[in-house]
Amino acid sequence: MSKTVVHVLRHGEVHNPGQILYGRLPGFRLSELGVQMAKAAAQGLAERHVVHVVASPLERAQQTAEPIAAQFGLPVGVDERLIESANWFEGKKVSPGDGSFRDPRNWWVLRDPVTPSWGEAYRAIAERMFAALHAARVAAEGREAVLVSHQLPIWTLRRYVERKRLWHDPRKRQCGLASLTSFHFDGAKVVGIGYSEPAAHLVATSPTARTAKGA
């Protein structure tokens, strides 16, 4: 059987001066630091045999994919299945202690953490991401692919592949800015999952790294 690797990359830091949960809203692009994170991710993949690059349609993901695609002389494809999850709080401030969570009128949205009630179902996220993962595996058969997506979809995919329950504590996600979650295949079977942070030295300088919204 052929050995294939699909790297799922979270985008870099986003320019978000209003500190809102931007989710799928248009117009949210990488910050200057985020652009440097994307370049660091590209450098981290420089010695790999990447033949396929696809990204979420959102600007920040497309930007993050660009230096990787350029490095290998490839186009950046678009896969809607890699998009950020839908969220009822999109466009609102959701930092701990701010108005959106403290307002009793919003509490009904938080009633079910398992589905969850405030956004796209974890199961739906997992299934679309898993389909995108396998499409990339087929496209890069025997070589490597890069998919650029967002924190919650990537973490949900990983938990789905590892056969763990999908609902979780968001504070415990292992999916930093510009991080790589790498799925190793033997044929169509996932035989290993790796994780690396090629932009860790830049993330350490970001004041928003721990609180990135709609990531």
pLDDT digits (tens, 9 = 90+) for 143-199: 999 999 999 999 999 999 999 999 999 989 999 999 999 999 999 999 999 999 999
* Residue 8 domain flag: yes
Total domains in the chain come to 1
Q: pLDDT band at residue 5, thresholds of 50, 70 and 90?
A: very high
The answer to whether residue 100 sits within a structural domain is no
Which residue from 131, 133, 127, 139 is spatially nearest to 6, judged by alpha carbons?
133
SS3 87: strand
pLDDT at 212 > cutoff 60: no
Give the contacts of 123 (CB within 8 A, at least 6 positions apart). 166
Domain presence at residue 106: no
Assign residue 129 the CATH number of its domain: 3.40.50.1240
Contacts of 79 (CB under 8 A, 6+ apart): 54, 55, 56, 132, 135, 147
Question: What's the DSSP call for residue 208?
Answer: T
Q: Looking at the domain assignment, is residue 112 inside a domain? A: no
173 part of a folded domain: yes
**pTM (2 decimals)?**
0.94
The residue range of the domain holding 166 is 3-86+121-203
Per-residue pLDDT tens over the stretch 113-153: 899 999 999 999 999 999 999 999 999 999 999 999 999 99
What's the CA gap between 25 and 135, in Å, rounded? 26
Domain presence at residue 130: yes
Tokens linked to 203? 């993330």
Measured between its terminal Cα atoms, the distance across the chain in Å is: 35
Residue linked to tokens 């979270």: 10
Q: What is the residue-wise DSSP string for 135-155?
A: HHHHHTTTSEEEEEE-HHHHH
**107 in any annotated domain:** no
Alpha carbons 152 and 129: distance in angstroms, whole number: 11
Residue 190 inside a domain? The answer is yes
Say what the pLDDT of residue 99 is: 61
